[in-house]
Structure 1
Amino acid sequence: MNAVADNVVGDIELHMVEMGRRARAASRALARAETGVKDAALLGMAEIIEARAAALMAENRKDLEAGQQNGLDDALLDRLAFTPERIAVMAEGLRQIAALADPVGAISDLNYRPSGIQVGRMRVPLGVIGIIYESRPNVTVDAAGLCLKSGNACILRGGSEAFHSNGALADCIRDGLERAGLPMDAVQVVATTDRAAVGALLRLKDSVDVIVPRGGKGLIARVSEESLIPVIKHLDGVCHVYVDDGADPDKAVRVAVNAKTQRYGTCNTMETLLVSRGVAERILPRLGDAFADKGVELRGCEASRAILSGIKEATEQDWSEEYLAPVLAVRVVDGLDAAIEHINTYGSHHTDSIVTEDYTRARRFLREVDSSSVMVNASTRFADGFEYGLGAEIGISTDKLHARGPVGLEGLTTLKYVVLGDGHVRG
């Protein structure tokens, strides 16, 4: 594997600089690669991963054994584990990326100017993407596939708990690239558990164009603070559902319950329920019963506790808490303006939804809530790349520059202006 070996004694900074240099060279080859060649590499990777399933599981067992010895809990071990089904899903994910339209080279907004020239914008790769992630080794495959299809080289730094699994997957990926005639340095996995490699990667501003962290708050906070390179990230997923005066009660219950209970540990799960005072006494008891049936602990404001007896009192901290658990903050608000103010004050600019039959209020909510995804009469759980028709995603961005929301193939490209003329000169 053409990366930093874990037993190398030397300057990790220099190793990372060399990886960046090779990635930059590979990115130029990828930028001009035809779609068919990139797709052939993706399909080759999928075949190799399936063919090496037994070997992948053998390497994965080394990580699982080390994790058990290091006291990883059952949930983390489950996220780490390979099964034949999960290996098949990784291979299928690569095939799905191959089936997506290639964004590179697409020209949009091409218009004639009075001078006779045509001006438009073309999608091009970002260049080199550094991705730092934890736990799930399937991210190695997803990230490599998305970067390849969008014409970007990538440097991947997975967590130490998946060291052997990521190394085995890296070999499959690089062999797939070689089979298709693409440079193997297009995907490089940092094969050292030394945390110094992360800091070194974050300083490669001359060879890496963007950093994408995927993991817990600690990792993302560190990357955001230390990186000398632009970062695509979200820190928290404090998502809201607001039940408006004009809501259909059945829709309100269906949407809110799904937004909270379909999965608890995801960044697009609802963490705070807002209910307009005008419908609180009518809708909150139904919601309270539904959440009680699901085993969700409610923490409410004074008004909601007066309607739902026995629920815990919410603190100021609860309004900005990402529980990632069967716990939900509930607040009664004085209508749409108060709901928007609460979301923009306490939310994390991730995903927020209104339940209403009032078109005017729905339009105001869409326009005024400052989040990367804003919804009407739909569960916040829809906020991901697959549900948006983007295919796999590399993450969610709550930033406002470049990419915002689920980051799929298009989010891994940028735009440049192109001008078409026929000997035109400026007079």
Structure 2
Amino acid sequence: MKKNDPYAALRYREFNVFLLLRFAMVFAWSMQFIIIEWQVYSLTKNPLSLGIIGLMEIIPAISMALFAGHIVDQKEKKGLLLKCILGFSVISFGLFLLTWPVIVTGISTHTILYSIYFLVFLGGLVRAFLGPTIFSLLALIVPKKSYPNAATWSSSVWQIGSVLGPAVAGFSITWIGVHWSMCLVFGFSIFALTALSQIATKPILNPKIGEPIMESLKEGVKFVFQNKTILGALSLDMIAVLFGGAVALLPVFAQDILKVGPEGFGVLRAAPAVGAFLTLILSAYIPFTKNAGMKLLAAIFAFGICIIVFGLSTIFWLSVAALFLSGVFDGISVVIRQTILQLKTPDHMRGRVAAVNSIFVGSSNELGAFESGLTAKLMGAVTAVVFGGSMTLITVFITGALSPTFRQLDLQKEVDAHENGE
């Protein structure tokens, strides 16, 4: 393999199947979340209800994350992923039924709403296992020398799903309605199951099979907190996502401020993912590993600026541009963070480290959604978004000032060593 080969990971057949599977799941999950956001806000006209959606997913995702990481490190990964996809399929089918007028006619709005929240809660349980399983399976499909490139392509596919899911959801709500849009989500979960059948069962690399769960969890948390590079990247991104969660309020902006309907809502929701996707594709050719610490700080600072501009904008295309650029800078953050995790995590601890990552970063999306919904209820949607962007800027200043080691972080030598097979 030649150095800096942008297609290194794509030369492995199972990795290509893995990308199809990941796309199907991300597309289905992001589309489902948008449909549910639209449906819930249409039922309640209360921005706090959007925050509750995030809260219903974050509670099980956080409370089960470490336990899920332990299970993932102890069990075979393909079988666990099969169970996760089956669980998601059941949840999607339940939401399909809850949005079917034939089924819900005569049922009170509160009953429908609480049933949706319950299924979102179950989705949080599934997600607690899904993230660590996918992270661990990726490392078993490609050799270690291809980890950085595989992380880039995997993140790129994640962004493609994040682009198309919200966009298709926005248009499909208009064209075929909420109910049949959920049917499409269910179909993609079935496609993911089919793709998984093309990936072989993988060996379990953990030398401590049967390790007591408390010792296992303690070892995973201790590793993350002792590794200052991983801890710094996760902490910085967590706080930025927590306070920069403007996307949770997009139904409010689309319906009440910009007045652009479901089509405009789909465009707004897809804009940051489009920006991130373009950045991730570029990163396959131009790595961000040189001076990674400063690049990560600069990217999150620029992300905060974009969130503030979006909050203040009353012009649709200016809002789209601000969200697009926020995605560009978020994409840089994703690439650097995923490279750090893949390079610095031992094989036998990938499930637990990914679980801690899901607590820090993954769940901060839902916690950020709750924070945004609550602050929007208290101070209005515009003020809530501007407040979140401002807190992101403050976080970057504090991190940069207090952590000179993080500012000096450079991953290029480690990447070169892996690519040379050292």
Q: Which has the higher contact order (CA 8 A, sep 6+)?
A: 2
- Greater gyration radius: 1
Return the TM-score normalized by structure 2. Answer: 0.25
Could you say which structure has the higher strand fraction? 1
Return the TM-score normalized by structure 1. Answer: 0.25
Could you say which structure has the higher helix fraction? 2
